[in-house]
Every structure is written in structure tokens, then in C-alpha cells.
């Protein structure tokens, strides 16, 4: 059989199975799709697809369903990601642009993806380790306490309070604030040690404790690992599919989603893909609890266009891949626009 016709038959099986949740037979393909060949030819094509491992028969006398391999071929041969309509794009933009701060942006984005895809949504917070400093503010909050506020180029705000052994000199605090922003603003974590080390040379010995404390808290905050986190929404959508979407219990899937280290690992691995939208199907997730799911992600960036985190959607293998890819990519692009604005 021809390669193109085989792909057409596979595409039709995937689309019908996603739409109906029922195994697809040759008669249904003839009735629903203009494949231009006889039912006998379609049956032969399905037999060849099954032999190659792209589709499978769940039980005797049933139609066929796509396998992980079949879904992968279907996704890889998508020529374009289905664009969202103009009203959809306007609605996404308006909803996200109403956000008040980064936490609100993330919360709105995760709820939006869940609503658009009717699946679990995942939004990763911008990593401090991949962000650059936009501004550092030093605010005296008492005679010996100083509030250090770090604002990144992705809109993330981190606050730390330090206690000093002597009363604060507000003039020195102002000088330190100014020099700190000149030295560190716009630099990424890897560039900060040298810039901050030179800062102490601009102040006298009497101010060394203050400078050392502020530099220490800046470095500690930006270097910490615990800031890596993700936000989820829409887990109830998985339960609605029930036994239709998952051969076993949905419990292992939900347990896997609760393990942030699992999701962060996947997000990190998918960030290495060159495609604007990355897809992991079934066993490609390399986690026992996610074998019956697919994970679609796209990166969003800072004002320099660098990807600093990812957004995504997790659903059953039987998902609307073009629609999910479109929704995830659209939200990622709007997040980039908002954070860079």
C-alpha cells in the first residue's frame, strides 16, 4: 500500500477514536471519510498498520485503536498546528492581560489552558536561575532590619528581610541600592558573582557588614533550588473519562501529577526539544503512572525572547492533539508577550 494512503487511514482512525471513544472499524472509515478506495483496500491497510504496530485490536470482533507508536506518527506528520480563531485569541489576550502580578498571570494561564483543552493544565513558574534581575530595592523596616526586594525580568518578585548588628545609615543604604542596580540589574545568575564581588570595593570598612549581608541574600535567593515549582488545574477532567480513557485505575495518574519532581523533570527534558511545541506520548514520559497519558508543552520567555519556563497540558492518549497543541502554544505566546511588556 502507498505511504500516503496508510497515513490517511491512520489519521482517520485517530480522529474517529478521539471523537467517539470507540474502536474504529473499516465500515466506519468508509462512511465517515472520503478515502477514495474500497472497503477491502481499507481493511488491508488496517491490517498492515496493525502489523507495523501503529494500531491494535483491544479485543476480538472490535475495531482498532491507535497505539503510542500510532499517535507518535500522527503527531509527527502534522504539517501545521491548528490556528486558533480570532475571537479565541482575543479572549485569551484579554483574560491574561487583566492579571495584576505574576502569581495572577500564572493562575489565569493554568485555568485558561484547562478550560481550553478540558484536560489537566500545567504552568511552570519562571525559574530564577534562568531569569535576569530587573531591579533591586532596599527598604529599611526598622533601625536594624532591611527588606531586600528582587524583581526579575519575568515579573517575579522575591522578598527577604535581613537583621544587622548595627543601626542602618539610610544614606549608605541609598548608595548601596544605586550601585547594586548598576552592577547587577540585567544580569543572569551566572554573571552575578563577579559583579557583586566588585561591589564591596566601593564602600568603606564600616559598611562591609551591610554590603556583605545584602550581597549574600541576593546570591542566596537567586541560587536556591526550591523556587522551581509548577501549578496544576483541571485534574477533575481526567476523572470524567474514567474507565474509557484508562485501562486501570486513574489513581496512579493522579499520584504522578502530585509529584512535582516528576513534572519538573519532564518539563526540563521537553525544554531541550527544538520544536515550538513538544509532545511526549505514553511510554515516552518514562513514568509508570503516566503511561496512559500524553504531555504537550511549549516554552514562554522573557523580554529577550529566551524561554524561562513552560506551560502544558496532560490528558489521555486519546486526546485532540492538534487542538491541544494550538491552545498550549497560544497561551505560551501570550505569556511571553505579557511578561516582556
Q: What is the pLDDT of residue 189?
A: 65
**Cell numbers standing for residue 306:** 529566551
Q: What is the pLDDT of residue 271?
A: 87
Prediction pTM value: 0.77
* Higher pLDDT, residue 138 or 340: 138
CATH class of 129-223: alpha beta
- Is residue 173 scored above 50 in pLDDT? yes
Q: Where are the beta strands (DSSP E) in the chain?
A: 55-56, 65-66, 120-124, 133-140, 145-152, 157-163, 230-233, 278-281, 293-301, 307-316
Chain-centre distance of CA 5, in angstroms? 35
For residue 149, what are the β-bridge partners? 137, 159
Nearest residue to 325 via CA among 253, 260, 275, 259: 275
Q: What is the pLDDT of residue 313?
A: 97
Q: Domain residue spans in the chain?
A: 3-66, 86-126+228-340, 129-223
Strand ranges of the sheet holding 120-124, from the earlier edge strand across to the other edge:
230-233, 120-124, 307-316, 293-301, 278-281
**Cell numbers standing for residue 152:** 526579575
Collect all residues with Cβ–Cβ distance below 8 Å to 224 and sequence separation of at least 6: 128
Q: How many residues are given for the chain? A: 341
Q: How far apart are CA 311 and CA 332, in angstroms?
A: 6
- Is residue 302 scored above 70 in pLDDT? no
State what percent of residues in the chain have pLDDT above 70. 92
Q: How far apart are CA 188 and CA 191, in angstroms?
A: 5
Task: Return the CATH fold of 3-66.
Answer: Arc Repressor Mutant, subunit A (1.10.10)
Q: What is the pLDDT of residue 321?
A: 95
Is residue 332 within 8 Å of residue 320, measured between CB atoms?
no
End-to-end CA, the chain = 53
**Rg of the chain (C-alpha set):** 26
Strand 145-152 relative to strand 157-163: parallel, antiparallel, unpaired? antiparallel
Task: Return the CATH fold of 86-126+228-340.
Answer: Beta-Lactamase (3.30.450)
**What is the maximum alpha-carbon separation in the chain?**
90
Q: How far apart are CA 299 and CA 303, in angstroms?
A: 13
- Is residue 243 scored above 70 in pLDDT? no
What is the overall mean pLDDT for the chain? 86
Would you place residue 39 in the very low, low, confident or very high pLDDT band (cuts 50, 70, 90)? confident
Amino acid at each position: 500500500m502507498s505511504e500516503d494512503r496508510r497515513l490517511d487511514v491512520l489519521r482517520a482512525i485517530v480522529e474517529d477514536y478521539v471523537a467517539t471513544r470507540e474502536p474504529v472499524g473499516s465500515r466506519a472509515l468508509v462512511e465517515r471519510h472520503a478515502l477514495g478506495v474500497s472497503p477491502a483496500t481499507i481493511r488491508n491497510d488496517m491490517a498492515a498498520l496493525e502489523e507495523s504496530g501503529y494500531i491494535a485490536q483491544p479485543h476480538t470482533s472490535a475495531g482498532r485503536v491507535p497505539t503510542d507508536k500510532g499517535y507518535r506518527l500522527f503527531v509527527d506528520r502534522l504539517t501545521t498546528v491548528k490556528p486558533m480563531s480570532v475571537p479565541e485569541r482575543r479572549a485569551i489576550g484579554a483574560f491574561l492581560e487583566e492579571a495584576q502580578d505574576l502569581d495572577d498571570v500564572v493562575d489565569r494561564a493554568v485555568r485558561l489552558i484547562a478550560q481550553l483543552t478540558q484536560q489537566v493544565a500545567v504552568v511552570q513558574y519562571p525559574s530564577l536561575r534562568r531569569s535576569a534581575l530587573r531591579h533591586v530595592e532596599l527598604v529599611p523596616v526598622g533601625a536594624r532590619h532591611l527588606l531586600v526586594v528582587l524583581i526579575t525580568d519575568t515579573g517575579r518578585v522575591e522578598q527577604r528581610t535581613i537583621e544587622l548588628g548595627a543601626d542602618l545609615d539610610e544614606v549608605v543604604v541609598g548608595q548601596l541600592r544605586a550601585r547594586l542596580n548598576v552592577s547587577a540589574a540585567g544580569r543572569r545568575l551566572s554573571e552575578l558573582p563577579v559583579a557583586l564581588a566588585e561591589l564591596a570595593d566601593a564602600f568603606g570598612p564600616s559598611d562591609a557588614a551591610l554590603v556583605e549581608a545584602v550581597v549574600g541574600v541576593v546570591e542566596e535567593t537567586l541560587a536556591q533550588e526550591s523556587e522551581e515549582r509548577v501549578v496544576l488545574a483541571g485534574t477533575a477532567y481526567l476523572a470524567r473519562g474514567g474507565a474509557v480513557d484508562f485501562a486501570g485505575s486513574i489513581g496512579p495518574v493522579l499520584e504522578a501529577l502530585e509529584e512535582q519532581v516528576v513534572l519538573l523533570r519532564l518539563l526540563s527534558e521537553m525544554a531541550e526539544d527544538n520544536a515550538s511545541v513538544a509532545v511526549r506520548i505514553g511510554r515516552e514520559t518514562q513514568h509508570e503512572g503516566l503511561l496512559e497519558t500524553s504531555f504537550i508543552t511549549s516554552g514562554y520567555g522573557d523580554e529577550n525572547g529566551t524561554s524561562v519556563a513552560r506551560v502544558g497540558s496532560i490528558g489521555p492518549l486519546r486526546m485532540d492533539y492538534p487542538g491541544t497543541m494550538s491552545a498550549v502554544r497560544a497561551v505560551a505566546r501570550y505569556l511571553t508577550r505579557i511578561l516582556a511588556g
